Structure 1
Amino acid sequence: MPIENIPEIYIKNDQKKSDLFMYDFKMTSDVVKSKVNLGMNMFSFLQVGKKQVHFAGTTVAVNKDQSLLLKKGNWLWTELLDTETIYYCKLFFFSAKKLKGFLENHTKNSKIAKEETPYFIIRNDSYISSYLNSLSTINEAPSVFADNLLSVKFEELMLYFLQKHGRKFELFLHSLIIEETSSFKKIVESKIHSNLKLEEIAFLCNMSLSTFKRHFIKEYKTSPGKWLKDKRLQKVKETLELGNLKPSDIYLDFGYNNLSNFSIAFKNKFGINPSEITS
């Protein structure tokens, strides 16, 4: 899966990269999974469909009733159609320079606690709906006029969320301009129970697959494939012992493409078939 540099891939050759950029993203495929190098912080106003994103040590999923503010960095994201229609998402990118200017003008210069979460979930309301409608006309305006309008609309949006979410949103905005390097172990161990592939976890660690494997063996004294397989199968066993789910309900969630391979791996580790587990 190639890495997509966003918003660069959306910028036309005759456009200069600016501190604010808006893009209407649409698709008709059932599912699109992408490795994304997000070069600017970004509002993702989801209007039709569902979205799931992984970033370093965390995962978040939203539907069309919610939107996201995402921190720049390496993300894995999956976009899914909600019904037989197009997936539609309005993306609004802003630079660290633009954010710093806003914070200097509208927030206190007090010491800010470090915020660990790289995303902020926004529940869509009537204001968001009317705001997005007002953005739709900007792309049709002359470029100089459009730039000035976007600047005004950015400040309007930020002030609205500050008023609505208060200190929580303010802390999050400050966290976006703090350079943070998540620890290798934190990222790896947060993905034990996901169905991500090794190369996807390596991407979230900002490493090539070969560098990731070397680093992993040095840290854990075993190969990442074996370690993750053992951890995930242990979690499978614990899940089945609760008695609420069957093997056929969960094998995909733990990275297996079919029930047969899942059952063989489980029996090799525990000596019994997963269907024999009872609460």
Structure 2
Amino acid sequence: MPEFTKWPSFPFEGDIRVKQIDDPVEVEPSRKGEDSADCVACAAPDEAYIWVSDRWRVRAMDQPSGLPMVLILESRSHLDLGDLPNLLAAELGVMTVRLERAVRSLDGVARVHVNRWGDGSAHLHMWFLARPYGRLQLRGTFLSLWDAILPPIPEMQWRENLALVAAWLAEFGGRPLAEPPHIQWQAPSSFSADGDTDTEIGAGTGTTRESDSNGTSAPTPAEPISSVAALEEPDDEAAATQAASASPDPAGDATPTNA
């Protein structure tokens, strides 16, 4: 077994077996959204983000996760990292530092991990993951795995954190779209023995849904991003299909780096 399985930060214990390494394919499959016409990031409206500007947008998960904050910085233009012109390349450095400071300003955040994989989606996106203060076991390269393992943080705290980061970024320009949580109460227009409707807060960054007496609900549709893996996991089915078509004899994730 590799040495990192003995690190205190390794999330798993017990019997572990290394997968068999597949033979390399002759032609790698296309990533999701290689064509801007099929790109989810290009098609997403500004309202799906917590902060936007003319050239950059910042997006959150569709629901709270185990870390205090997980955010994605995207270029508005359909470009990958190596395709950035000098202006956007210089701005990427500024935006990276600015967003790291915004996330690190939140209560209970010790460090902010900045990651870029790019194997799952073609549109440039940088990950910002907040490591909770005092959680020494979460230090290092496995933070994105711990995010999916830890119980989600309270939704009210998550929404407040989103609004704080958006407001912090807006101090330097752009437009904040995340709002702090509102007081959840209703003043009825009339009193009755059996109420017909109630309102509950949805799981997304600003989604509400109304439930009637028969228990049905109509949630506002949104493009979900539930975890790092949801966006970064390559399409194995597409890879297998393309590999099979490229060669009659079939002979394939990435290690995160922190900045």
Confirm or deny a common fold (TM above 0.5).
no
More helix by share: 1
> Which is bigger in relative contact order (C-alpha 8 A, separation at least 6)?
2
- Tell me the TM-score normalized by structure 2: 0.22
Scaled by the length of structure 1, the TM-score of the pair is 0.21
